[in-house]
Amino acid sequence: MNTHAINFNAGPSKLPPSVLKSAQDNLINYQGTGLSVLEMSHRSREFMAIRDHAEQAVRSALSVPDDYDVLFLQGGATMQFSMVPLSFCKPNQTVNMIHTGSWTKKAIAEIKKQGRVHMVASSESTQFDRIPDITPDQFDPDAAYTHICSNNTIYGTQYASFPESPVPLVADMSSDILSRPLPISDFNLIFAGAQKNAGPAGVTLVIVKKSWLDQDFDHLPLMLNYAKHAKESSMLNTSPTFSIYLLGLTVQWVLDQGGVATMQTRNQAKAKRLYDYLNSSDFYSPIAQPDSRSVMNVCFKTPTPDLDAVFVRESAQANLVGLKGHRLIGGLRASIYNAVSADDVDALLTFMQSFESNHH
């Protein structure tokens, strides 16, 4: 049997080994019920307990205030790009946008089908190598809301702290939710496709201020109606039961490790080791600007695209997978989400050092 590869994939990505083991142990016979979670009714008492546990784990890990709903939806973060403007941007209203890469580009395209975009700031002119600096006067104070992407998975940039918006703040946190403590009350809505840091693909976590849902969404398709999802505990239809189960196990793992503050300390230490090495090397170079570097996705390159390709090949032979940069920017990318251990990062550093000495 192959030893498990060391997984630096950007998403779907590494899950904690103990989560996979627990899912395996319960796969055929979940806690003596005689059924697999895969086979249970989504309305059964057993599954409702699994769903409630997942919600409680999220509430506890992120200290979600009681006046927020926690929803488990489908359609990925991409569905949220449509669902948020359809719900909260009336025709001809404006949305403030801080444009930091391909995920905000996709959000912009969906907002434009519904309303207008006010570009607060953009880092497009520097190939999205940073989180732009902004001043309060750059926002449209009459906009319906402000959209940001907290961590730019492809370009390797991340907000160290969040901007103060004069209107409700919405954040795509697909690739850094649960990586650090969050001031939830500063946001009206947070969404995250689970498959980066919160579990497997197939479920999208939404944390939304209840008072924002106190409006009429009946003109929308049922499955795009946040208020209905909230009212029915995200059970409007057959929910992605196994994904919710694994999300619950993953968030419970975060809690068992000491919570998101522990995750933050570990994540910062892992990222620092990589960035310190990249900074000290005259062979590799980091891609993002120093103040904007992501703790989750470390993007870098060797002296040439050809050597980047050799790096991808040789690292895979060394059992390190998922290090190819996104096709939009090339180079290399190490995604070091919560489940990627300090030992995994050490294995990468050892490989990088030997690659540097072989090819310098």
Ligand X SMILES: *Cc1c(COP(=O)(O)O)cnc(C)c1O
What is the binding site for ligand X (CB under 6 A)?
11, 76-78, 103, 149, 153, 172, 174-175, 193, 196
Q: Which is nearer to ligand X, 246 or 352 (CB)?
A: 246
Q: Which of 140, 172, 176, 344 is catalytic?
A: 172
**Contact by Cβ (8 Å): 336, 273:** no
Q: Which of 14, 69, 103, 140 is catalytic?
A: 103
Neighbours of 341 (CB within 10 A): 16
Q: What is the DSSP string of 23-44?
A: HHHTSSSGGGSSS-GGGS-TTS
Q: Which is nearer to ligand X, 9 or 175 (CB)?
A: 175
Strand, coil or helix: what is 1? coil
**Contact by Cβ (8 Å): 134, 169:** no
Q: Catalytic annotation on 212?
A: no
Q: Which is nearer to ligand X, 78 or 94 (CB)?
A: 78
Q: Could you tell me which residues come within 8 angstroms of residue 6 by beta carbon, excluding any fewer than 6 positions away?
A: 319, 320, 321, 344, 347, 348
What the block records as the tokens of 228 is 């209905």
Q: Report the nearest approach of ligand X to the CB of residue 62 (Å).
A: 17
Q: Which of 14, 176, 196, 270 is catalytic?
A: 196
- Please tell me the distance from the alpha carbon of residue 16 to that of residue 86, in angstroms, as a whole number: 36
252's enclosing H/E stretch is helix 241-256
- The residues pairing with 293 across neighbouring beta strands, listed in sequence order, are 157
- Please tell me the distance from the alpha carbon of residue 189 to that of residue 68, in angstroms, as a whole number: 9
Q: Could you tell me which residues come within 8 angstroms of residue 330 by beta carbon, excluding any fewer than 6 positions away?
A: 301, 305, 308
Q: Report the nearest approach of ligand X to the CB of residue 58 (Å).
A: 17
Q: Which is nearer to ligand X, 40 or 117 (CB)?
A: 117
Q: Report the nearest approach of ligand X to the CB of residue 156 (Å).
A: 11
Q: Could you tell me which residues come within 8 angstroms of residue 205 by beta carbon, excluding any fewer than 6 positions away?
A: 58, 70, 71, 72, 177, 190, 191, 192, 194, 198, 247
Q: Which is nearer to ligand X, 13 or 241 (CB)?
A: 13
Q: Report the nearest approach of ligand X to the CB of residue 102 (Å).
A: 8
φ, ψ (nearest 5 deg) of residue 242: -70, -35
Q: Which is nearer to ligand X, 300 or 337 (CB)?
A: 337
Name the one residue in this structure whose structure tokens are 């719900």: 87
Q: Which is nearer to ligand X, 87 or 150 (CB)?
A: 150
Query: What's the CA angle centered on 14, arms 13 and 17, to 5 degrees?
Result: 155
Q: Report the nearest approach of ligand X to the CB of residue 64 (Å).
A: 20
Q: Catalytic annotation on 172?
A: yes
Query: What's the CA angle centered on 86, arms 190 and 216, to 5 degrees?
Result: 95
Q: Report the nearest approach of ligand X to the CB of residue 109 (Å).
A: 13
Q: Report the nearest approach of ligand X to the CB of residue 287 (Å).
A: 16
Strand, coil or helix: what is 167? coil
- Catalytic site residues? 103, 172, 196
